[in-house]
C-alpha cells in the first residue's frame, strides 16, 4: 500500500491538510482488495468443491449417528470456531446440529493454559469430551499452530474425523497425517485467507445440510 501510494502524497512531514485525495484513494483501495478477495473465493471454491463434498458426506454420516462437532482456532480463527458453533447449532435454515467451540469457555482455556500449557488448551478438552464418532475442525491461517496440531493428534487417536482449514501453503497442517482433510486457501494474505475460509465454511455447512436432507 505505502509503496504504491506515496507518490500521491508529497506531505510526508505532516503538513498535509486536505483529506480529499486520501478518501478517493481509500475507496479505490477498498474496491481493489474486495475484487482480490472475490477472485480468491471463486478460484478456491472451484478447486476445493469436491473435497468439501467428500468431507460433508462423512460429516453427515457422523451427525446422523449422533456425532458432535468440536471447533477450535486462535485469534481471528478462534472467532471462526465460535462462528461454526453458532452456524451449526442455530442455523439460518435447515437442521440444528450439535457443535461447540473449544475457545468459548474462558475458565477452561485459562485454567489449561496456565496449568498445562497453551499447546494443550484444545487437546485437553477433547480428552474430556470427545469420543469416537465425533468430529474436529481446526482453523489456522498459517497451518502451523502448535495447539491445533496437538489437538488433531489427540482427535485422531480418539477416532474423530479431523478437518483442517489452513492458508498460505497449508503449513504443517497441510502435511500432517492427523489432519485427514485439510482445506487450504492458497494466499499469502492472512485477511484474504480468512475471508475465503469463511466462504468455504458456509459451503461446507450447506453441503452437510444437503447430505443430511438426502438421507431422509
Partner 1 sequence: MTEIAAVAEDLGRASLALARRFNAGATMWCTSPSWPFHASHVAVEFVHPVIVGKRALAAVTVPIGADVVATLRANVRPGDIVVALADSDDPQVVDAMRRGEAWGVETLWIGAGGERPRSGSADHVIWLDTDDPLEASECFVRIYHLLWELTHVVFEHPGLLKDDPNGVVCTEEVCITCSDEGRLTEVVSVAGDEAVVKALGIEERIDISLIDPPAPGDLVLVHAGFAIR
Nearer to partner 1 by C-beta: 19 or 46?
Answer: 19
75 binds partner 1 (CB under 8 A): yes
Among 43-51, 120-128, 151-159, 188-196, which window interacts with partner 1 (CB under 8 A)?
Answer: 188-196
Spatial separation of the C-alpha atoms in residues 82 and 191, rounded to whole Å? 18
Only one residue has cell 477433547, namely 126
What is the closest distance, in whole angstroms, from the C-beta atom of residue 190 to partner 1 in the complex? 4
Spatial separation of the C-alpha atoms in residues 142 and 193, rounded to whole Å? 9
Angle, CA of 88, 154 and 172, to the nearest 5°:
85
- Interface with partner 1: number of residues (CB under 8 A): 45
Nearer to partner 1 by C-beta: 74 or 162?
Answer: 74
What is the closest distance, in whole angstroms, from the C-beta atom of residue 7 to partner 1 in the complex? 13
What is the closest distance, in whole angstroms, from the C-beta atom of residue 8 to partner 1 in the complex? 10
Site for partner 1 (CB under 8 A): which residue of 49, 66, 86, 215?
Answer: 86
What per-residue string of b and e applies to 29-67 under the rule 16 or more CB within 10 Å gives b?
Answer: eeeeeeeebeebbeebbeebeebbeebbebbbebbeeeb
Spatial separation of the C-alpha atoms in residues 80 and 37, rounded to whole Å? 17
Residue 198: exposure state from Cβ atoms within 10 A (0-12, 13-18, ≥19):
middle
Site for partner 1 (CB under 8 A): which residue of 28, 54, 110, 114?
Answer: 28
CA 122 centroid distance within chain: 15
27 binds partner 1 (CB under 8 A): yes
Residues that bind partner 1 (CB under 8 A): 1-2, 5, 9, 11, 13-17, 19, 22-31, 33-35, 37-38, 41, 75-76, 78-80, 82-83, 86, 92, 141, 190-191, 194-195, 198-199, 202, 206
Amino acid at each position: 500500500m505505502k509503496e504504491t501510494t506515496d507518490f500521491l502524497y508529497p506531505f510526508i512531514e505532516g503538513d498535509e491538510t486536505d483529506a480529499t485525495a486520501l478518501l478517493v484513494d481509500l475507496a479505490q483501495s477498498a474496491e481493489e482488495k474486495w475484487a482480490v478477495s472475490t477472485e480468491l473465493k471463486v478460484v478456491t471454491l472451484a478447486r476445493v468443491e469436491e473435497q468439501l463434498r467428500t468431507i460433508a458426506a462423512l460429516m453427515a454420516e457422523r451427525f446422523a449417528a449422533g456425532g458432535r462437532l468440536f471447533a477450535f482456532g486462535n485469534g481471528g480463527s478462534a472467532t471462526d470456531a465460535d462462528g461454526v458453533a453458532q452456524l451449526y447449532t442455530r442455523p439460518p435454515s435447515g437442521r440444528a446440529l450439535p457443535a461447540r467451540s473449544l475457545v468459548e469457555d474462558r475458565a477452561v482455556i485459562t485454567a489449561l493454559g496456565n496449568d498445562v500449557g497453551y499447546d494443550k488448551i484444545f487437546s485437553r478438552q477433547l480428552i474430556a469430551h470427545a469420543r469416537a464418532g465425533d468430529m474436529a475442525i481446526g482453523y489456522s491461517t498459517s497451518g502451523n499452530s502448535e495447539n491445533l496440531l496437538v489437538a488433531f493428534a489427540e482427535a485422531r487417536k480418539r477416532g474423530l474425523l479431523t478437518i483442517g482449514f489452513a492458508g498460505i501453503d497449508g503449513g504443517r497442517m497441510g502435511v500432517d497425517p492427523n489432519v485427514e482433510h485439510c482445506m487450504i486457501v492458497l494466499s499469502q494474505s492472512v485477511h484474504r485467507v480468512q475471508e475465503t475460509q469463511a466462504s468455504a465454511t458456509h459451503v461446507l455447512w450447506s453441503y452437510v445440510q444437503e447430505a443430511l436432507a438426502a438421507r431422509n
